[in-house]
Amino acid sequence: MNNLFIMLFSLLFLQSQDKIDLTMLNRIMLEATSSARSELDNIVWNLTDVLGPRLTNSPGGRKANKWAVNKLKEMGIQNAHEEIWGKFGKSWSPIRHSLEMISPYYEHMIAYPSAWSASTDGEIEGVPVLLDINDEADIERYRGKLKDKIVMIKEDLNYPSLSEAESRRYSQQDLANIQDLFYDPDFYGDLSATAKLYRTELRSGLSIFFRLRAKIRDMIETEGVAAVLSVSRKSNRGTVFNSNGASYQANSKNEAPELELLKEHYHKIQRLIERGIDVRLRLRSDCKIDTNNTDASNVVAEIKGAGKLADELVITGAHIDSWHTATGATDNAAGTAVMMDVMRTLNAIGMSDRNRRTIRLVLWTGEEQGLYGSIHYVSKHFADYTDMKLKPEHEKVSAYYNLDNGSGRIRGIYVGRNLAVVPIFKKFLEPFETIKANTISLNWTGSTDHVSFNAVGIPGFQFIQDELEYDTRTHHSNMDSYERLDIGDLKQAVLIIAGFVYQTAIRPEKLPRKPLPKARKRFSDFKR
């Protein structure tokens, strides 16, 4: 009975701290949704159309960081600066690329250079060699035969039709599934057909290229091929989903030139070869690689707190880096623009000088290669996951809020098994019931920068967003451009996140934490 009384008292105490300041939320709403004052569209347009791709350590990535710092200063946000997080590796950017089939007829092929791959020796022509590799023994059959050749790996030609809509919003059943801690999706049954096909292929090992990737690459490098043609798992219907084909480490050798093709074009070449039709290709890939400056930086800015809570923190963030085949609109100019406009909104509403925490924004780089910017930042300021020796700032952070799932409107928040924050977040979400943001999921969602905070015991949260075309069309693809953004949905995100950040900043107590994780050798060993 005593334990039950203590638990009930604790919950009542938590709820008593979370009276919603509707006056300030109304100011936030008017500021965040104002067509005259919102900077959201301007920010996201600059990040995409004007600045272009923002691959970590590329000229475009560095330019975007500097632009963000200047924009934050222009909006009156304090202490805006770049902070070096460590050594990343090579600067890489594509200069020019093309792929044409010139026999048995002419066709311009849709293809993009893989990140950090080398340049071709000018324009090259040749007959592609189709490598049929099923195990390590097959690799040896090609030794000594591939010098100066254009090579490609035999693919499974299965290409099922996809009948469902490519853009979708979550239904109530979808949200119930996300919310259910014990939901079994029956082998990804809640995913789109494209995602299920992609994950099924990876699970079943249909792609030899992935299973034997390292050994195949070693052989290709040793042979001195002229170029490699590859295809990503999800590429279809004019969309190429890209990846990095080479190492970005500063001391790594520049690997063979590689172009990733649209699946339909790759399969066409393969079918022609397999059926005895002579194919001839002409291609070129010019890429700039620079190892003179391997440092990488995050962007940091603050709204200073007040009173006795001023030295505590609420951190909000998104990754500003992108891939290179488009302009990274939904991944993640959208999240970056939202978080920058959250800062503008909170700075503009005239928060009182009563007790409130400092609000810190961090825009991460290196996210796409492994959360490097956030992992190193957390290690420097709060704790290193390898030893879990807590630094003084660790206890000062109430929460970290992240946005990195596309352009869709917010439908709720993942709390990652942090049961104690559920009644708090229910109160935070109450004012947004009418705009369909009311789902709290105890489940964990990963693969973005809030993980770095949770890994050292700091509460980190990712918002639930409508998928729209994120999984089927834009995520890491050549279609991730400004047109794929829903500005109305993103303004809704500014409103909700600004509300969360404000309520967290003025809350008398920090948000409750889960038990500290144990130290571990590898980041991937983190158990949620």
User: Do 357 and 421 reside in the same domain of the chain?
Assistant: yes
pLDDT at 6 over 80: no
Q: How confident is the model at residue 384 (pLDDT cuts 50, 70, 90)?
A: very high
- What pLDDT is attached to residue 5? 40
- What pLDDT is attached to residue 9? 43
Evaluated on CA atoms 445, 449, 454, 459, the torsion sign reads negative
Cα atoms in the Cβ-side hemisphere of radius 13 Å centred on 203: 8
Query: Has residue 126 been placed in a domain?
Result: yes
- Low-confidence winner among 80-89, 104-113, 193-202 (lowest mean pLDDT): 193-202
Query: Has residue 197 been placed in a domain?
Result: no
User: Do 137 and 31 reside in the same domain of the chain?
Assistant: no
Query: Has residue 186 been placed in a domain?
Result: no
User: Do 23 and 144 reside in the same domain of the chain?
Assistant: no
- What pLDDT is attached to residue 232? 79
**Residues 83/89/90/93 CA torsion (nearest 10 deg):** -60
Query: Which spans in 75-171 are helix H?
Result: 136-140
pLDDT in tens, 207-218: 455 567 778 888
Q: How confident is the model at residue 407 (pLDDT cuts 50, 70, 90)?
A: very high
User: Do 79 and 99 reside in the same domain of the chain?
Assistant: no
Domain boundary among 290, 306, 341: 290
**Mean pLDDT on 68-96:** 98
- What pLDDT is attached to residue 193? 53
CA distances 372 to 249, 342, 378, 448, Å, are 13, 24, 10, 10
Query: Has residue 456 been placed in a domain?
Result: yes
Query: How many domains, the chain?
Result: 2
Domain boundary among 229, 255, 290: 290
Q: How confident is the model at residue 502 (pLDDT cuts 50, 70, 90)?
A: very high
Residue 28 to residue 26: CA distance in whole angstroms: 5
User: Do 149 and 214 reside in the same domain of the chain?
Assistant: yes
pLDDT in tens, 110-148: 999 999 999 999 999 999 999 998 888 889 999 999 999
- What pLDDT is attached to residue 221? 86
**Mean pLDDT on 430-441:** 95
User: Do 279 and 403 reside in the same domain of the chain?
Assistant: no
- What pLDDT is attached to residue 164? 67
CATH number at residue 146: 3.50.30.30
Evaluated on CA atoms 171, 176, 178, 183, the torsion sign reads negative
Q: How many CB atoms lie within 10 A of CB 73?
A: 14
User: Do 103 and 233 reside in the same domain of the chain?
Assistant: yes
Query: Has residue 377 been placed in a domain?
Result: no
User: Do 282 and 324 reside in the same domain of the chain?
Assistant: no
Residue-range definition of the domain harbouring residue 270:
93-158+206-290
- What pLDDT is attached to residue 377? 99
pLDDT at 328 over 60: yes
Q: Are 359 and 48 in contact (CB under 8 A)?
A: no
User: Do 82 and 231 reside in the same domain of the chain?
Assistant: no
Q: How confident is the model at residue 17 (pLDDT cuts 50, 70, 90)?
A: low
Query: Has residue 240 been placed in a domain?
Result: yes
Query: Has residue 200 been placed in a domain?
Result: no
| Cis? peptide before 332, omega within 30° of 0 | yes
Domain boundary among 274, 290, 306: 290
User: Do 268 and 406 reside in the same domain of the chain?
Assistant: no
- What pLDDT is attached to residue 203? 47
Instruction: Report the chain's mean pLDDT, rounded to a whole number.
Output: 90
User: Do 71 and 103 reside in the same domain of the chain?
Assistant: no
Residue 480 to residue 389: CA distance in whole angstroms: 40
- Low-confidence winner among 83-87, 118-122, 132-136, 378-382 (lowest mean pLDDT): 132-136
- What pLDDT is attached to residue 210? 58
User: Do 116 and 231 reside in the same domain of the chain?
Assistant: yes
Q: How confident is the model at residue 200 (pLDDT cuts 50, 70, 90)?
A: low
Question: At what angle are helices 422-429 and 2-16 packed, to 10 degrees?
Answer: 30
Task: Give me 173's structure tokens.
Answer: 């059943």
Residue 340 to residue 337: CA distance in whole angstroms: 5
- Low-confidence winner among 39-48, 239-248, 282-291 (lowest mean pLDDT): 239-248
Query: Has residue 409 been placed in a domain?
Result: yes
pLDDT at 357 over 80: yes
CATH number at residue 56: 3.40.630.10
